[in-house]
Amino acid sequence: MIEQRSVINTPRAIGNYLLEAELGRGATSLVWRGRHRFLREREVAVKILLSQDEESTMRFGREAELTAQLRHPHIVAVYDHGQAGNFLYTIMELVSGGSLRQYMAKHQRLSLKEAFSIFRQIGTALDFAHSQGIVHRDVAPGNVLLESAGGRALLTDFGIARQPQQSHTTTHIIMGTPGFFSPEHAQSATAVTAVSDLYGLGVIFYFMLTGELPWQQQPSHPDYVFGNILPLGARGVDLPPEIDKIFQTLLAIDPKKRYPTAAAATEAIDRALQRAGVLLDRSTPLPEVTAFRAINTASTYQSAGVLESEVEAVLGPDLVREPVERAHARAERLRDPLALAKLLDQWSMQGKFWEFRRQHLGRIINLRSVSSRNVYFYQMHVLLETRTPPNTIEEPDTEETHFKVQREQDRWTMKLPKPHDWSDDPGKTEIIPGSERVLKCERCNGEGQAVCNECKGTRRVLRTVAVNPGQPADMGVHEQTTVSRRKDEAAAADGHQVEMKQTLVPCPTCGGAGALRCELCQGVGRLVQRKVFQWHRTAVEHAAHDDLPNLDEDALRHEVALTQVYNERSKGLKREWSEVQALQPLLAQVNAKTGVDTRVVLAEITVQMIPYTEVEFDHGHHDVVLEENEPAPPSDDRIHRLQLAGFEDKVLIPAGTDVYDNARRLQLFGLIFLAVIVVLYTAYIFIAR
């Protein structure tokens, strides 16, 4: 029976489809279940635009156009688009089961198996859309539909999606579902990228497992502060701790630190669950890797993808994910003997003629093992700051400065000038706020002047002067002394003796005042006492790298380009750095220089990477062409190694590895030797004539 029309006067039929029941409605549209007039088993979803404004009309048409381009099993298909009377409509695939939002309202939480299945399926849909240059921009539970039979999850509602070349997106407007959009959404609609969609998918995954959003407090208008991600255990979900680290990467604030694709995140979750012994029965499996075809491999041939390293395990949430995931993809490609043989064949054909590379190397060697890992190079910059123990100084209170009453600060809580670069700074002397005291000058007892040390306050001192006949009695002391000295000199020259006597004279030091201005307080009678310390900064730089057997890392870094995957700056040494074994000696050197008076005030670790693959092989006798009935020579089963380094897969040949055609090399040397003999003989004959 056809349901009664809603208050909105929608048509009873659109095209060949009768509208049977309303399935849902939004702010600008509603969705009906439609049935074909003649093909009665054909059911569809008919989305009808209610709004007539230009913006809504444009978005409705673009949604149909973009979705029609995306033919994928986990994206709702679009069959038709047009206009019936005043209404624009889109005819789409009918998914009978409702949205994930409705499903979560009923079940509160989903099992790991169920949540991971939905995550994988929607992830494949997003990766496909992104490969077509389309960003969804509203990945939320309301836009994920669940099929009631078969367990299929589908992505829908590309109403605010955009393509990179699109230029009419409104700027400075936040689009998306609150609670599920990324930090870029909060900046502007134009800042949203493919990894912003993956952020929303990560929030959905957390929401499915816990029934709640990942933060203690949901980011909200106008600040949109994205706080720390709460561990699953805080929400009562018991999963391996590594899953929490994966969520740190999925929901990283910096887009560069997120997984570049949903497939990369899915693979990381798979690996974490396998290591923890958690096995899931996939109801909707992803395509498996194509099986290797046979090619000169030993019966014990072994291959592995990128071996896990401490860098990925410890620093994973803060790594730039794109190169790391690209290294994983490279390692998987090189596991295939066919791909490896092709690469080695190309190398053997590209050499200079005098190198004598063994032709068709990839086909004639016998592969034994292939293993890949990322080689990491570390650089650490540290700024050490020394603050000497406080000293007390006293200065005259001549300025009568007003000092703010405050608690005396600790020297290490005081803010000093921020460092500008990684260089030494001689620093200066700093006064500790709150340490000021105004004291009475003890030297002058607050009087501002001190008793003259020479006259002891009597204002007079005894002086010995010469007395000569005829010297006026009222002559001043200074004049007397001067006259006496002259007469003494004259008398001494004539051999006469001079009469000497002592007399009181005004103290020449204090001028007869009996006191002097106190030098300590400069006459004010008060001192200001302060505590001060001196500081300086020392820049320290250290470098290290992984130490792998059979590999010269120092030579490697000059052969192949390094790719930066980590750069973190901190006000101190971060705890997780000590969990990376290669960094431990560097940190120990820094810690040896720290103590009560010296601390790390700024530290930065940069990690660069080179993807590296080691291939072990033997020659067997694949490169020997035998005549009929000729017995095969002994197999050369000595193990050789060659190395493939960098994303460009540069082939490195360690010493002792036999990949050159020595027979051709001997032939050439023989020909050169013969030519030299001929030339010398010809020259000898010519000279002899």
- Do 587 and 542 meet the contact criterion of CB atoms below 8 Å apart? no
The one catalytic residue among 53, 80, 138, 661? 138
Q: How far apart are CA 84 and CA 323, in angstroms?
A: 50
Distances (CA, A) of 639 to 23, 305, 347, 677: 67, 21, 20, 40
Distances (CA, A) of 487 to 85, 469, 470, 474, 496: 138, 10, 11, 17, 10
614: which residues sit within 8 A by CB, 6+ positions away?
A: 370, 371, 372, 550, 551, 641, 642, 643
345 is catalytic: no
Distances (CA, A) of 67 to 81, 552, 676: 11, 52, 75
Distances (CA, A) of 678 to 200, 593, 664, 667, 688: 79, 72, 21, 16, 15
Exposed/middle/buried for 222, CB within 10 Å: 0-12, 13-18, 19+? exposed
Phi, psi values for residue 242, rounded to 5°: -65, -25
Helix (H, G, I), strand (E, B) or coil at 163: coil
**How many helices (H) and strands (E) are present in the chain, helices listed first?**
15, 22
User: Please, what is the end-to-end C-alpha distance for the chain in angstroms?
Assistant: 121
Tokens of 1: 């029976």
Dihedral sign (CA 3, 7, 13, 14): negative
- Do 364 and 623 meet the contact criterion of CB atoms below 8 Å apart? yes
Phi, psi values for residue 532, rounded to 5°: -135, 160
Other CB atoms within a 10 A radius of the CB of residue 498 amount to 15
Helix (H, G, I), strand (E, B) or coil at 645: strand
Tokens of 26: 């939004």
**Bridge partners, 395 (sequence order):** 528
Tokens of 669: 């040397």
HEC states along 462-514? EEEEEECCCCCCCCCHHHHHHHHHHHHHHHHHHCCCCEEEEEEEECCCCCCCC
Amino acid at 132: Q
Give the strand pairing for 640-645 and 650-652. Answer: antiparallel
Q: How far apart are CA 258 and CA 615, in angstroms?
A: 31
Return the active site residues.
138
